[in-house]
Amino acid sequence: MIEENSRLLDAISDEAWDRAGTLITSARSVFAIGSGRSGLAIQMAAMRLMHLGLRVHVAGEVTAPAVGEGDLLIAVSGSGTTASAVAAADTAKNVGATVLVVTTARSSPLAQRADEVLVLPAADKQDHTGSVTSQYAGSLFEQSVLLGFDALFQSLWNQTNQTAERLWRRHANIG
């Protein structure tokens, strides 16, 4: 698993991730959406971005406000066909928000709606050939979403002069 993740992360575009960082830090608010394990991975990324002091919302949560102009939607779907992510991207585009897509499929319906696409060369969860990964379903994709965004968080944090203690003050302390 570690070797597969290392190979995948070495193959991704540093420039695209740098552009993603700029989109994130320049957005009025950041919205995150994904389903299943991909959704859990992007929710973990959303939490870290909140720790940086950014306004971050998980789409679909009852406290998430309306997305609008100046906002960024990060939509994650390995196949790029997840209906909720595609619909969210359509809504975001219609109101003037920017769309950042994370997927394995550059020509997918979701990627076609994106302003920026982060392609993670992992197997689609329906690829059972074992040619890209020996792991089940979308595990490699989901792991790489988490690792990629943790690395991006670290890079963005390094660009600030915030201490770990300052970030910790934003950490959840109830519930």
**Predicted pLDDT of residue 37:** 94
C-alpha span between 67 and 16 (Å, rounded): 23
**Predicted pLDDT of residue 1:** 87
Q: What are phi and psi of 119, to 5 degrees?
A: -90, 120
Residues annotated as part of the active site: 142
The one-character DSSP state at 31 is E
Task: Transcribe 99-145 into DSSP letters.
Answer: EEEEES-TTSHHHHT-SEEEE--PPPTT--S-SS-SSSTTHHHHHHH
**Predicted pLDDT of residue 12:** 87
**Predicted pLDDT of residue 134:** 74
Contacts of residue 145, Cβ cutoff 8 Å, sequence gap at least 6 = 34, 38, 41, 42, 45, 76, 102, 120
Record: fold of 2-160:
Rossmann fold (3.40.50)
Q: In the numeric block, which tokens belong to residue 147? A: 């690792």
Q: In the numeric block, which tokens belong to residue 59? A: 């789409």
**Predicted pLDDT of residue 130:** 67
Binned average pLDDT, 10 residues per bin, the chain of 175 residues:
86 92 98 97 98 97 97 97 98 98 96 97 73 78 94 96 96 90
**Predicted pLDDT of residue 129:** 73
